[in-house]
Amino acid sequence: MDSFIIAALALCSLTAPACGDKGSSKARSCSNFRTFYKGKHFPLDGVPQSEISGEHLRICSQGYTCCTSVIEDNLASLSSRELEAVCKNTSRSLQVSLAGQRKAFDGYALELLNYSMSSLHETFISTWGSVYFESSQVFSDLYQDLTDYYKGSATNVNLEEVLNEFWTKLMEKLFYMANKQNSIGEDYLDCVSKQIETLRPFGDTPHKMTTQVTHTFVAARSFLQGLLISEDVVRKVSQVHLSKDCMRSIMKMTYCPHCHGMVFAQPCANYCSNVIKGCLANQADLNPEWTRLADSMIELAKSCLEDMDSVILSLPNRISEAMFTMMENIGSINNKVFLACGNLKKEGASRSGVVEILKNGRVTVEDRLGDSPNKMTKLLSNVTTRLKDMRSHWISLPRIFCSDREAQGAGAEDKCWNGISRARYLPEVIGDGLASQINNPEVDIDITKPDMLIRRQIMQLKIMTHHLKNALNGFDVDFQDTSDDVSGSGSGACVDEMCSRGPRLVIPISDRPTLYDYPPENEKVKGSSQQNLPCVIIHLLSLLILLLQR
C-alpha cells in the first residue's frame, strides 16, 4: 500500500504544471499565438509550435504556455512602450494645441500694438505736424514699453510708472512747442513737469487710460504666461517613467492571456482602469491644480480680455483728445506755470503753429483692425473652448488607453480577462491620484514616494494660478526668470495671498525615477503561490484519499 501511495503522489507531481492552465492537461497548438506574435513584428525564432510547461514565467501564471522567458520579456517591454506612447502622443496633441492657441493670441496682440502705433503715426503727421515730429520719440517709447511689458522681455517694467512718465514727457513737449518763442531751459521744464498733478493739463484721460491699459495688459501678459506654463508642464510630464511593478501589471493585463492561448481575450474595463490608474497615479495628481489653472484663465479671458482690441486701438484717439484738451487750455495752463515756475523771456514769434492745429480741429483715428472688429472675441472663444476641453486631461489618460483595449459588447463583463481567467472582474474601480493607490488591487505603489518632477510642475501650476488671480483683481504680476521654467517666461515665487513680489522659489531638482529591469529568473512573482494553490490542494486531497483507503 505504501508503494501505491508513493506512485500516486509521483503521478500527481508530474501533472502539477498543468494545474495553472484552464483545466486542461493537454498541450495545444501555438499557431494563433505565433500569428499574433509575428503581427507585433517579433521574429518567430524560439516560439514553440505547441504549448510548453510554464515554470519559467515570472509575470504570467505558470501553466501551459506558448511564451518562453524571452517572449515574456519582449511582450512586457512592448506593453510598457504602448502605454508610454499613448501618454506621449496624447500629451503631444495637447501641447501642440496649446502652442497653437498661444501663438494665435500672441500674434494678434502684437498685431494690435503695431496697427495702433501705425495709425497714430499716420494720423498725427497730418494732424499735429511739427508738434508730432518733435515729440515722436515719446510715442515710440510708450509703444515699445507696452510691447516689452506684454512680451515679458523687459525686467522691472511698471505699467503705471511707464504711463505716468509718458504723460509727463508729453506735457513737457507740448508746453515747449506752445512756448517756442520763449527761452526754456531743462530746469524750467523740470519745474513744469512737477505741476502735472496740480494742472491736470490732459483732463481725466491719463487716469482713465492708465486704469484701462494697466488692467488689460496685466491680464494679457498673465494669460500669455498661463498658456506658456501649461504648454511647458505638458511637455515636461509627457515622458512617463513606469515603475517595476507597473510594468509587470501592464504585461499581466495585456499579453498574459495571449501566452496562455487566449489570443482574443481583452481585459475587463474596470481591471484596465485600476492598472492604468495605478501606473499614472502621479500624473493624476496634476489634475486639481491643472483644473484650477484652466478655470482661472477662462475667468480672466471673460473678465479682462474681451475689450483688449478696443483698448489698444483706441490709444491714438485718447492721446490726441488729451493733447487737444491741453492746447485748448494752454493760456490758463501757462499762467499757472508762470506763477509756479516764473515768467519766461520772450525771444521769438507767437505760437501760430498751435493756433493752426486747433483750427484744423480734432481728427478721429481708425480704432478697428481691418474687417474683423470681433476677432479678439472669436479668438478668446477658441482658446477658452480648448481650456475647457483640457480640464480633465490628466485623469482621462486611463480611459484613453483602455478605450480600444478593453472588452466591449454584450456579455463582455463575463467573458473578459480579469488577470486570472476569462470571467467577471469583481474589485471596484479605485480613485484617481497617488493617495488612492493604497487600495489598488492590481499595482503595488509606494504612496510615500511621489514623482518629484511632477511635484515641481504642480508647484508651477499653483504659482501661475496665483498670478492669474492677482491679474484678475487688477494687481500687477512679477514674473521672474528661473532656469527650470519655460524659456522667456519665468515664474514668481509666492503662492499665498500676502505675497506678490517676494524672493524666487527654488525647488530642488532630483534625478529621474529609476527604470527597473525585470527580476532574475529565480525570483518568484508576487501572487504566484495563489496561482499554484489548486495544485497543492489536489496533492493534499490525493494523499488524504489514499490514507483513508488504508
Per-residue pLDDT of the chain (550 residues; tens, 9 = 90+): 444 444 443 444 433 333 333 434 467 899 999 999 999 999 999 999 999 998 999 999 988 999 999 999 999 999 999 999 999 999 999 999 999 999 999 999 999 999 999 999 998 888 888 888 888 999 999 999 999 999 987 667 788 999 999 999 999 989 888 887 777 888 888 999 898 999 999 999 999 999 999 999 999 999 999 999 999 999 999 888 889 999 999 999 999 999 988 888 899 999 999 999 999 999 999 999 999 999 999 999 999 898 899 999 999 999 999 999 998 898 899 899 999 998 877 655 555 456 656 655 555 555 555 555 578 888 999 999 999 999 999 999 999 999 888 888 777 888 899 999 999 999 999 999 999 999 899 999 999 999 999 999 999 999 999 999 999 988 877 665 433 444 333 333 333 333 333 333 333 333 333 333 333 333 333 333 334 444 444 445 555 554 555 4
- Check if the beta carbon of residue 241 is closer than 8 Å to that of residue 494: no
Q: What are phi and psi of 257, to 5 degrees?
A: -60, -30
- Check if the beta carbon of residue 486 is closer than 8 Å to that of residue 231: yes
CB-facing half-sphere around the CA of 507: CA atoms within 13 A:
20
**Dihedral angle sign, alpha carbons of residues 517, 523, 527, 532:** positive
> Rounded distance, CA 202 to CA 542, Å?
105
- Check if the beta carbon of residue 145 is closer than 8 Å to that of residue 108: no
Q: What is the dihedral of CA 143, 311, 194, 350, to 10 degrees?
A: 80
- Check if the beta carbon of residue 480 is closer than 8 Å to that of residue 38: no
- Check if the beta carbon of residue 363 is closer than 8 Å to that of residue 231: no
Q: What's the confidence (pLDDT) of residue 130? A: 84
Q: What does pTM read for this prediction?
A: 0.77
Residues 6+ apart with CB under 8 A from 378: 372
Alpha helices in 152-183 (DSSP H): 159-178
Q: How many residues are recorded in the chain?
A: 550
Q: What's the confidence (pLDDT) of residue 13? A: 40
Q: What's the confidence (pLDDT) of residue 498? A: 33
Q: How far is CA 361 from CA 131, 323, 328, 334, in A?
A: 15, 12, 11, 21
Q: What's the confidence (pLDDT) of residue 367? A: 56
Burial class (CB in 10 A: 0-12, 13-18, 19+), 381: middle
- Check if the beta carbon of residue 532 is closer than 8 Å to that of residue 19: yes
Residues 6+ apart with CB under 8 A from 541: none
Amino acid code (one letter) for 261 = G
> Rounded distance, CA 313 to CA 114, Å?
10
Residues 6+ apart with CB under 8 A from 101: 227, 382, 383, 386
Q: Taking the CA atoms of the chain, what radius of gyration do you get in angstroms?
A: 37
Q: What's the confidence (pLDDT) of residue 490? A: 38
Closest CA to 440 of 411, 398, 403, 400: 398
Q: What's the confidence (pLDDT) of residue 112? A: 94
Amino acid code (one letter) for 405 = R
DSSP secondary structure letters along 514-550: PPPPPPPTTSPPTTHHHHTHHHHHHHHHHHHHHHHH-
> Rounded distance, CA 236 to CA 281, Å?
16
Q: How far is CA 53 from CA 27, 36, 42, 66, 283, in A?
A: 9, 20, 22, 9, 39
The DSSP code for 304 is I
> Rounded distance, CA 312 to CA 112, Å?
7
> Rounded distance, CA 77 to CA 59, Å?
12
Long-range contacts of the stretch 398-402 (C-beta < 8 A, 24+) = 398/272, 398/273, 398/276, 398/277, 398/280, 399/273, 400/86, 400/90, 401/83, 401/86, 401/87, 401/272, 401/276, 402/267, 402/269, 402/272, 402/273, 402/276
Long-range contacts of the stretch 493-497 (C-beta < 8 A, 24+) = 493/463, 494/463, 494/466, 495/459, 495/462, 495/463, 495/466, 496/466
The DSSP code for 242 is -
Q: What's the confidence (pLDDT) of residue 23? A: 38
Q: How many C-beta neighbours within 10 Å does residue 471 have? A: 26
Q: How far is CA 245 from CA 6, 159, 279, 427, 449, in A?
A: 40, 54, 9, 19, 14
Domain map (residue ranges) of the chain: 72-349+377-436
Q: How far is CA 60 from CA 21, 38, 204, 258, 360, in A?
A: 11, 20, 78, 10, 90
> Rounded distance, CA 32 to CA 395, Å?
36
Closest CA to 303 of 220, 422, 415, 236: 220
Residues 6+ apart with CB under 8 A from 420: 61, 531
Cα 469 to chain centroid distance, Å, stands at: 17
Burial class (CB in 10 A: 0-12, 13-18, 19+), 164: middle
